[in-house]
Amino acid sequence: MPMAKLRPVWIVNTEQNQVQIDHSWLAGKGENLYEVSRIPVENPDDREGNLLMILGSLDDHHLGYNVIVHGLEASDSVKESMEREGFRITETTADGFLALRVPGDRERLIGKLVRQKNSWVDSGSGNLPSE
């Protein structure tokens, strides 16, 4: 799994993905890969809903992340959902897209920013988000 050589990977746990997940877990020990997380979902066919659920999990583990999505087209519905979640799709790929965080938007949505003397401060780190 080449992506895991560059960044943490969160992958939906489906029959189709099972072999790739298992392989990356075995190879990861010897290849110094980033963490590959297996994400259980109720409905593997609800790719957009699964992505939104994963974003919530990512908020608990990573601050200030962007996402590279595979296996989901950047349809109008997905673009609208990502914008509501504080991301902007900036690039499409053959099997997905790249979405960048809109500075401050996601943090306000999930309550990670607090108002302090006319500016927003990340409540977790005390640092100002980059604009």
pLDDT band at 23 (very low <50, low <70, confident <90, very high): confident
- Rounded CA gap, 68 and 112, in Å? 22
Q: Is 36 within a domain?
A: yes
**Could you tell me the pTM of the whole model?**
0.75
122 vs 8: which has the higher pLDDT: 8
Q: Which residue do the tokens 């992958």 mark?
A: 11
CB 93 within 8 A of CB 74: no
Check residue 28 and give its pLDDT. Answer: 74
Q: Which of the four pLDDT bands, split at 50, 70 and 90, describes residue 110? A: confident
129 lies in a domain? no
Joined tokens for residue 11: 């992958």
Domain presence at residue 107? no
pLDDT tens digit string along 65-91? 899 999 999 999 999 999 999 999 999
Residue 121 lies in a domain: no
Q: Reply yes or no on whether the pLDDT at 114 is more than 80.
A: no
> How many domains does the chain fold into?
1
What is the C-alpha separation between 59 and 76, in angstroms, rounded? 24
